[in-house]
Amino acid sequence: MIEYEKLLNYRIPEVRQRLTPRDVVFYALSVGLGQDPMDKRQLDYVDQDKALRVLPSMPVVLAHPGFWVSNPETGVDAVKVVHGEQSIALHAPLPIEGEIIGRTRVTGLVDKGEGKGALLYSEKELRDTHGTLLAVTGSTTFLRGDGGFGGPSGPVKPVNPIPESAPDITVDLPTRPEQALYYRLNGDDNPLHSNPDVAARAGFPRPILHGLCTLGVVTHALLRELGHYEAGSMKSMSLRFSSPVFPGETIRTEIWRSGAFRARVVERDVVVVNNGAAVFG
């Protein structure tokens, strides 16, 4: 059972990560870059023999605190946890090597009521050893089994609007059947993405792709079309996860020139990412 004040003030240990070019390459490969060996622009993110670039969604895995909500002290029913929303704000160029310091904290907790779950808001600041702020990531976690603990019913973050017009660009990018097994080596080891029994207990027919892996695939599409593969072109993005992706499915990202976007699984025609907004410049 969640105790509001205890979870709101739960101390998440600081994480220090020694970043290497190998980590940069592995992250890009884990979200699907490099599948076209003739696309030299993708090779800039996966070939250590080139002037390596960092995919702008990588802050979500840097100095990652792990699946900390699974600690029994949080009071969270970890089996029923689902990633709801994610944002990234980039403040300085991301390095390809060096020590990265991540400080994560709970910033809000919303009780949606008995049987309706709860929302947990958290934020991670990434800095280098000189104290330079590199990026801030924000996350909304839907605690499906934990409503009714007597917490506040708001405020709830507003969503980004999606235009009523048809998208200006569509990009289809495939995922691989084993992709979640690779992606979890970035530090997100929730067994929901690897263990069929855990997935079944959570109500899924098989392990699902990490929401943050889906975010990486969508970031690839945005970077290709709006940023022309320039790593420093993306300034921020935010999105809402609306349905899971099963590894092996194709993700179609629908993009508007304004920076609005959403994504759907081609095979099931199900929207998996909605209310997306990206800023390039």
Q: Is the peptide bond before 155 cis (omega within 30 degrees of 0)?
A: yes
Q: What is the mean pLDDT of residues 23-30?
A: 98
Residue 205 phi/psi, 5-degree rounding, is -70, -20
Banded pLDDT at 217 (limits 50, 70, 90): very high
**Letter for the amino acid at 76?**
V
Select which of 23, 64, 111, 193 is catalytic.
Answer: 193
Q: What gap in Å lies between CA 248 and CA 245, rounded to an integer?
A: 9
The question of whether 193 is a catalytic residue gets the answer yes
* CB-based burial, 29-42: b 16+ in 10 Å, e otherwise: bbbbbeeeeeeeeb
Report the chain's mean pLDDT, rounded to a whole number: 96
pTM of this prediction?
0.94
Q: What gap in Å lies between CA 31 and CA 215, rounded to an integer?
A: 9
Q: What gap in Å lies between CA 53 and CA 100, rounded to an integer?
A: 16
52-102 pLDDT, tens digit per residue, is 999 999 999 999 998 899 999 999 998 888 889 999 999 999 999 999 999
Q: 4-280: CATH homologous superfamily?
A: Hotdog Thioesterase (3.10.129.10)
Is-contact 229 36, C-beta < 8 A? no
Identify the residue with better confidence: 219 or 187: 219
Select which of 44, 111, 146, 188 is catalytic.
Answer: 188
167-186 pLDDT, tens digit per residue, is 999 999 999 999 999 999 99
